[in-house]
Amino acid sequence: MLEWTGRFDGNEESYHRIFQRVKIESDYENVNPKDFVLHGFAVDEGVKRNKGRAGAQDATDIIRRNLSNFPVVNSEFSMKDFGNIKCENNDLEATQNLLADMVSKVLLKQGKSVVIGGGHEVTFAHYSALRKAFPDKKTGIINFDAHFDNREPENGLATSGTGFWQIAQETEIHSLHIGIQKNSNTRKLFETADDFGMKYILADEIYAENIPNIMFTINTFLDDVDIVYVTICMDVFNASIAPGVSAPAYNGIFADREFMQIYRHILSSEKSIALDVAEVNPYFDIQERTARLAASLVNEWFMI
């Protein structure tokens, strides 16, 4: 049973916090245009297959708890929560298909999809939902991640690191990867990214003086696609602010002014219709720092 609770200051709209605007839902016919619609992807089978640190499947309700107490800034904000999806019998592929089916219903009702994870195997599932709902639209993916996640599956099995390889087998990739680490990707993965046409901004390139160039790259990307899906692997961040992840990046980026300028700019685009956060691992978190950061990143979209 999902529970949304928080500090109660009053029933008047100006007092509201997120937990007061969430409705637990099960019927997709009740989704209204511009509703934020939440699914929990309580799955880390792909992380296990990718030899990462298991535990992300247990992050969904912890992220909810950290999200629930933020104040409602946008008076029109409403959210419907469809609960958690779990991986039965280690069948990741069936679980990815299930999420894709569910989210596609949301998108066809003009809702805004939010998925909290779970491992980054959510990428292929979430993208598949957009492709299913809008097969004729050019979908752009903006991936905040230290890794390309473009590994070829071993023995045909998808993992948390194969999402973009899987996408490339189905269609031409239109993706921009922000925060890529040179010490987290082999030369082969960089070559694969180039072969697939995956655009990227290295973590080392994110600094104040370079923001105009980054914004130009982002705007060029946004102009070239019809709809945008934003995915955040929490290991893109420095381990000091995001210790609880499946694969830590100790020299990752920070959620500083430069990052927030980039991130808010992307979310403010009317083309952005789907967002997820992945790889929060509560068993390695410290004082729920990673879960709190993940929740705050989701909340940024609610405030626009």
From the list 249, 238, 218, 237, the residue with the least C-alpha distance to 277 is 237
Query: Model confidence at 139, in pLDDT bands (50, 70, 90)?
Result: very high
Q: What is the pLDDT of residue 249?
A: 78
Measured CA angle at 22 (ends 300, 274), to 5 deg? 45
Band of pLDDT at residue 269, cut at 50, 70 and 90: very high
Instruction: Report the relative pairing of strands 79-86 and 112-117 from DSSP bridges.
Output: unpaired
Using CA atoms, how far apart are residues 118 and 59, in angstroms rounded to an integer?
Answer: 7
| Mean pLDDT within 132-141 | 98
What is the average pLDDT value for the chain, to the nearest integer?
A: 97
**E strand or H helix at 223, and its extent?**
helix 211-223
pLDDT in tens, 178-213: 999 999 999 999 999 999 999 999 999 999 999 999
Q: Is 235 annotated as a binding residue?
A: yes
Q: How far apart are CA 108 and CA 129, in angstroms?
A: 10
Query: Is there a binding annotation on residue 265?
Result: no
Residue keyed to tokens 């993965």: 189
User: Is the pLDDT at 1 greater than 80, yes or no?
Assistant: no
pLDDT confidence of residue 2: 79
Terminal alpha carbon distance of the chain: 30
Q: What domains sit in the chain, N to C, each tagged with a CATH number?
A: 13-302 (3.40.800.10)
| Residue 226 is labelled as binding a ligand | no
Q: What is the pTM of this model?
A: 0.98
38-93 per-position pLDDT tens digit: 999 999 999 999 999 999 999 999 999 999 999 999 999 999 999 999 999 999 99
Q: In DSSP terms, which residues pair with 199 in a beta bridge?
A: 176
Lowest mean pLDDT among 100-109, 145-154, 170-179, 247-256: 247-256
Burial class (CB in 10 A: 0-12, 13-18, 19+), 153: middle
Distances (CA, A) of 13 to 22, 31, 301: 14, 21, 19
**Would the annotation count 16 as a binding residue?**
no
204 is in an annotated binding site: no
The predicted structure's pLDDT at residue 244: 97
DSSP codes of every residue in 197-209 = T-EEEEGGG-SGG
Which helix (H) or strand (E) segment is 72 a member of?
none
Q: Is 126 annotated as a binding residue?
A: no
